[in-house]
């Protein structure tokens, strides 16, 4: 049984800070930007969730 390119699982693009970008195409670079924007959103959402939990705890102990 042979595999064609369509049968193989698509590898999620990854990015390492400081990696060489010279070998990536414009489309690959744009995909990296979108990947990093999504990750920034995820990090900001987690930071906001933790900040609200901390604020709730501080308010509880102030009462």
Predicted confidence (pLDDT) per residue in 11-62, tens digit: 766 788 999 999 999 999 999 999 999 999 999 999 999 998 877 777 777 7
Split at pLDDT 50, 70, 90, the class of 5 is: low
18 φ/ψ sector (left φ>0, alpha ψ -120 to 50, else beta):
left
Give the global pTM: 0.62
Structure tokens at 54: 């901390």
From CA 15, how far away is CA 28, in angstroms rounded?
11
In degrees and rounded to multiples of 5, residue 16 shows phi and psi of -115, 135
From CA 35, how far away is CA 50, in angstroms rounded?
23
Split at pLDDT 50, 70, 90, the class of 3 is: low
Say whether pLDDT at 4 is over 70. Answer: no
């Amino acid at each position: 049984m042979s595999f064609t390119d369509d049968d193989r699982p698509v590898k999620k693009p990854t990015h390492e800070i400081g990696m060489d970008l010279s070998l990536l195409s414009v489309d690959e670079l744009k995909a990296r930007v979108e990947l990093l924007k999504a990750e920034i959103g995820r990090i900001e959402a987690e930071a906001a969730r933790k900040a609200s939990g901390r604020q709730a705890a501080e308010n509880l102990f102030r009462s």
